[in-house]
Structure 1
């Protein structure tokens, strides 16, 4: 996944020679559950929505602030009573009717509409709509990756369309006008950026891989072609589960949509139709789907606590992709990935664009910033693997993943797990490669 824009970040000083810890802006509340009902108008590229937000006060609370992108909120109510609210700077500020004491819970209802410029992508020529990362552009929510909540999602669509969404599918409902309400429930709290859905005039194929049902969707590809494109999906899930020490849970869906560089969601990954054709042309072009599959452990289940630690999501997914290619396609495939990372890092350093992996300025990342997080991050994991040896490295990575399943993490959590596996301090390595720009590529 490539992040287009993240909001609400706190600039943190980088402390040389020690671990930068998470210091998210205090919200004063914890979202427990979202219940969202959407009605997208694909032809008009607009959406209407209503939702219930259940939250708990973590301090005395009189105002609830959510990210809301460019959505226009029309009403906020609590038990049928209208609440005062204001929108500014892509945020929604709601004044509670009665201040909450710490530990108290409450629910609010929000109605809204809008024409998101991103986050919700419409392709009318394909009768398709799908989400891409910026969840607050289609439902008021908390953008921060350390905020986890459960979700009920309903999307009302024309009857000819198929849909996939985050969470387990619930029975659809046929409305009086013939439209279909597609519903999903996410029972495990997840960060909001992995919420989403895709809908279109899809063809589909399904396969059973052990306890996991695999489902593939595309407008342009036949069921037989979809099985060919995603032939390695089950093997990928098995590999990542073994390395993580955690089995994949739930079912897994992959959709080829009009255009995307790739997007992971909870139980759902999106890739482009063009990418699907690439795989049909060359069966070895599986790195992108492996990257998105890897995120279901490193990104979704173990999530960076703040964007300054984003390399724990993206550098890890890139590295794990290469590790899978090493198993599936041989050592040369792994080394080709490593060579690509090293070459990009050399280019960053030549232009003075290299910097620490842990850094505060991820609000509007440049291509060079993304290269640091994605490619340098993966390269540093490769170097750590070489320093520790395979047995210690994989033992440490497994311990890190198992211990932090369902948690938000900072780089210090990863460092501690690897030090425990190694039996000694790794501070010099992390000082050189993670907390500072590092030295010349090895």
Structure 2
């Protein structure tokens, strides 16, 4: 069945709308946070933190109410209580309800113009800043913001669309070492007038715009070293002091992996890269220039290559190029998953790209049977649900199939162009589609529509028949299902009994029913669909 003109128009419009979909966050288009300075006091005697958040804001449209995110006090006594909000020395009226701060701005502010707001608050973080003990029983502090958990300890615009530079000024007992995003801007001993013990003030500053999901600090009894350099970028290892020998070995590949991706994609955005043993709730968390790994990742077995590659790949996609909308998180997770597989194909023995993609295909198929949803699923409101096979493995498959569609050189040229255009900015799926269309000269909206917005993948029933009289082979294909049929190129390999004769062809498939007939100059004994693992699909061979 051919797609009617009207149906084609509706698909194109649907693709444009969903590829630009909004997650519903109340974005104030007249407000842009340029810089955060978080001054944080931490203690050993209490989990209560004292914070001053100073925001440098550019206002481009007249705004009466400034809205920010900060989790308030809950029924367990955790959360933040605001003591005051200041514009210079002027106290501003505010409300703090439903984890949102609403600040009334004076009419005197210029438009366009910059101003600074200081918010003083304190409390025990309900989440976001993980205050706990590590596996050695030592007290630690680790920021763990993804997806929108920064608001539990940082007053901010807690959405990936508003990227800013940041500085952390941390006052803590002197036995802690502090690591953070960006570069070390200062460190000195601090002794209060009535000291219980000596304190240290540490400043970490990031001068590149990053989203709040990856703005973090970590405090522990760390041992650290510079393990190498990648095109002038220092690569550091930070591990618990008791794990020093194992950790320095396990995280050693970091510099080489960083160089691999710089050569493949483009220049690294940040001042350093620190690989950090931590208490993150995830296996790894791609904080900009300061990646946190789960504490059990250090074991002295030097088996960290894949996890390191995934999180370091995020420094390009997820951090430097950030999804503008949560529903487009595949730009982060799908890209990192695919780049991890590309790295493994090049440098990890036994981890071919075909093997990785075959494993991922099985995961996608199983996930679809359990929960048939598209990659861009605008029904999701709990963003933890985005940590799914769709965002990771199916997102990786979208890139893998695009690579086959465009060819090797054009695909990587497009990836580099996408990175160059959106480095340290935000992007949507529609932006990626546009860049790849411009680079390739091909219309790709249907490709992105069917693989990102439509649940599932082609489910093929097929058979083949050899006509000895006419020296031809016929393949009959049926796309099962009730929706619009997928459009794709189907790799086919035909061999004789001994394997000495091989014929490869890639016919286009666009209809519900497809019959393909072509000549062969040998008697075929086997027909294999997708022998190189380049198509996401399921199949069943019907024996005649």
TM-score of the aligned structures, taking structure 2 as reference length: 0.74
Contact 1:170 1:183 in 2 (8 A): yes
Aligned to 2:7: none
Contact 1:355 1:437 in 2 (8 A): yes
Aligned to 2:319: 300
Structure 1 position 434, deviation (Å): 1.2
Structure 1 position 412, deviation (Å): 1.2
Which structure exhibits the higher relative contact order, with contacts defined as CA atoms closer than 8 Å and separated by 6 or more residues?
A: 1
Aligned to 2:207: 187
Tell which deviates more after alignment, 304-313 or 74-83.
Answer: 74-83
1:216 corresponds to which of 229, 233, 237: 237
Tell which deviates more after alignment, 48-57 or 36-45.
Answer: 36-45
Contact 1:52 1:110 in 2 (8 A): yes
Aligned to 2:90: 81
Contact 1:130 1:199 in 2 (8 A): yes
Query: Any idea what SS the aligned residue of 2:14 has?
Result: coil
Task: Measure, in 2, the Cα distance between the counterparts of 1:438 and 1:164.
Answer: 43
Q: Deviations over 1:184-221 (max 9, x none)?
A: 12112221211111110112222231412222112255
Task: Measure, in 1, the Cα distance between the counterparts of 2:345 and 2:45.
Answer: 44
Matches within 5 A, 1:119-198: 119-124=128-133, 125-133=137-145, 134-177=149-192, 178-198=198-218
2:279 aligned with 1:258: yes
Query: Any idea what SS the aligned residue of 1:31 has?
Result: strand
2:103 corresponds to which of 91, 94, 99: 94
Aligned to 1:341: 360
Query: Any idea what SS the aligned residue of 1:18 has?
Result: helix
Structure 1 position 303, deviation (Å): 0.7
Task: Measure, in 2, the Cα distance between the counterparts of 1:302 and 1:104.
Answer: 27
Specify whether residues 48 and 272 from structure 1 end up closer, same or farther in structure 2 by C-alpha distance, changes over 3 A only: same
2:253 corresponds to which of 216, 232, 240: 232
Contact 2:326 2:383 in 1 (8 A): no
Aligned to 1:267: 289
Structure 1 position 167, deviation (Å): 1.4
Contact 2:34 2:57 in 1 (8 A): yes
Higher helix share: 1
Specify whether residues 26 and 256 from structure 1 end up closer, same or farther in structure 2 by C-alpha distance, changes over 3 A only: closer
Aligned to 2:35: 33
1:45 corresponds to which of 44, 47, 52: 47
Structure 1 position 18, deviation (Å): 2.9
Specify whether residues 288 and 412 from structure 1 end up closer, same or farther in structure 2 by C-alpha distance, changes over 3 A only: same
Aligned to 2:14: 16
Structure 1: 5+ residue stretches without partners: 1-13
TM-score of the aligned structures, taking structure 1 as reference length: 0.90
Name the larger-Rg structure: 2
Task: Measure, in 2, the Cα distance between the counterparts of 1:240 and 1:153.
Answer: 28
Specify whether residues 112 and 425 from structure 1 end up closer, same or farther in structure 2 by C-alpha distance, changes over 3 A only: same
Aligned to 2:439: 421
Task: Measure, in 2, the Cα distance between the counterparts of 1:93 and 1:213.
Answer: 41
Q: CA RMSD in A?
A: 2.1
Specify whether residues 285 and 214 from structure 1 end up closer, same or farther in structure 2 by C-alpha distance, changes over 3 A only: closer
Specify whether residues 332 and 188 from structure 1 end up closer, same or farther in structure 2 by C-alpha distance, changes over 3 A only: closer
